[in-house]
Amino acid sequence: MENKMPKDFFWGNSTSSMQTEGGWNEGGKGPSVYDVNTVGRSAKDWQVTNDNYHHYSQDLDLMKEMNMNMYRFQISWSRIVPDGDGEFNEEGIAFYNRLIDDLLARGIEPMICLYHFDMPLNLAEKYNGFLSRKVKEAFVRFGQEMMKRFADKVKYWIVFNEHNLYFADGFEHYSGVLKKELTLSDMYTVFHHTMLAHCELTQFLHENFEAKIGGMLATTEIYPATFSPKDNLYLRKFDEFYNRNLCDVYAFGHYSHEVMTYVKNQNIQMDFQKGDEEILKNGISDFISFSYYRSILLDASQLTENDAPNSYLTKGMKLNPLLEHNQWDWSIDPEGFRRILSRLYNEFGLPVFPIENGIGQSEIWDGKTKIADDLRISYHQKHLEAMKKAIFTDGVEVMGYLGWGLIDIPASSGAIDKRYGAVYVDSKSHKRIPKKSFHWFKNVFASNGDHLD
């Protein structure tokens, strides 16, 4: 008998506010770190993006036409609280209220993400973002208010996008830290503050609303570069710090014992205060969500015991010569996707939810011909086939599948040359033009994923 996908499966799209909305100085919004030239960012790339602030109804119509039944979007902290910690901006709240109502009217379930890297500028400049416990408290205040306003209508929540990025090199780019000389203690402090915020908001939601909330990882399947014991040892340690440490909190309410042993041995100061342990215990998630795009190799030959496990990939990352790569050297590895789905579910026992998946391509519309993005169709087809094997062969409980930026948005670099979407967005006119993959997605979603042709 042919396996049928679960009837309540979610199909949809994920975006961030800073890559989607624009309207950076409209509707009472305050500036974020992306709206000015901070840490190497060019503000002009972020102030308009694909102008969803003015075009969102058109985008929701396209999502409905594509047969999506979920949209994960981010509420911009600085649109709601312009200075990060002061008065709430009712005009900004009204914008998201309309967006939620318009989604529900189209039969599209909203999922809210509360933070996707765009720290209010005031809090970055004054306190160095999440390096400060005061900023953590300001964020919890913002998050609780959003739950009070919307959790009666929004049943699925994410606190931090790709939370483990705050626990690796480059953490400052995601957490609003403008300090120049950074230490390992700074990294661990930012991570601890954000994990406390996640757990406090998880407990608040559970105590007050009938809604579900998940933790989120940025996952990249990593294989040892060789058969050497060192490659395998260092890969295990990196996974413990980068992935399992977060999942231990999501599923069990505590940090990894190995990670905390390292903190003690290295005398890392992470602002762990009295009462924090109880906060972690009370913040167990309902599901584990993740992004997945590619796999890589870890070559430990240049690593030593003096290197922090959080930083192993900085020195040790290599590309897999056995896999096809796009022009940015991101591999195509659907088997890696299946491995992550199965491993997360088997090890932590929570439903899993891939909420970002896709492939970037360089595309230019000639004004007439439909863009034939066959590589994108092939990529998603193979990943959905791998997901179905995880569900039906490995027994994984998967909640849904959300592509990344299926209506074109700027990539994380700020440029729109790397496109993930099934809908092309002209960077000047903001005209939306469906690509070949739009019609493929439309048919796949209409069949609830039973037909991937």
Could you give the CA distance from residue 86 to residue 104 in angstroms, rounded to a whole number? 30
pLDDT-flagged residues of the chain (< 50): 43
Structure tokens that stand for 360 in this block: 């970037």
Residue 415 is predicted with a pLDDT of 63
Residue 369 is predicted with a pLDDT of 94
Could you give the CA distance from residue 147 to residue 230 in angstroms, rounded to a whole number? 46
Q: Is 356 a catalytic residue?
A: yes
Q: What phi and psi, each to the nearest 5 degrees, are found at residue 170?
A: 90, 5
Residue 25 is predicted with a pLDDT of 87
Long-range contacts of 343-346 (CB under 8 A, 24+ apart): 344/247, 344/288, 344/290, 345/390, 345/394, 345/395, 345/396, 345/397, 345/398, 346/394, 346/396
Return the residue matching tokens 């500028």: 121
Could you give the CA distance from residue 286 to residue 416 in angstroms, rounded to a whole number? 34
| H-assigned helices in 66-183 | 77-80, 90-105, 121-127, 133-150, 172-175
| Structural domains of the chain, ranges and CATH numbers in brackets | 8-445 (3.20.20.80)
Could you give the CA distance from residue 445 to residue 59 in angstroms, rounded to a whole number? 17
Structure tokens that stand for 287 in this block: 């599901």
Could you give the CA distance from residue 328 to residue 89 in angstroms, rounded to a whole number? 40
* Angle in degrees, 0-180, between the axes of helices 334-348 and 245-252, rounded to the nearest 10: 50
For 347, residues 6+ apart whose C-beta sits below 8 A from its C-beta are 244, 247
Residue 293 DSSP SS3: strand
Residue 288 DSSP SS3: strand
Core vs surface per residue 255-277: b (16+ CB within 10 A) or e:
bbebbeebbeeeebebbbeeebe
Could you give the CA distance from residue 379 to residue 37 in angstroms, rounded to a whole number? 35
Task: Kindly name the residue from 91, 181, 356, 397 that is annotated as catalytic.
Answer: 356
* Angle in degrees, 0-180, between the axes of helices 245-252 and 184-208, rounded to the nearest 10: 20
For 53, residues 6+ apart whose C-beta sits below 8 A from its C-beta are 21, 22, 23, 26, 27, 95
CB-CB contact of 311 with 169 (8 Å): yes
Which string of DSSP letters, residue by residue, matches 403-427? EE-SB----TTS-SSSB--SEEE-T
pLDDT tens per residue across span 375-431: 999 999 999 999 999 999 999 999 999 999 999 887 766 566 789 999 999 878 889
Residue 443 DSSP SS3: helix
Task: Kindly name the residue from 21, 162, 172, 221 that is annotated as catalytic.
Answer: 162
| pTM: predicted TM-score of the whole model, two decimal places | 0.96
Could you give the CA distance from residue 6 to residue 26 in angstroms, rounded to a whole number? 42
Closest CA to 316 of 245, 182, 223: 223
Residue 254 is predicted with a pLDDT of 98
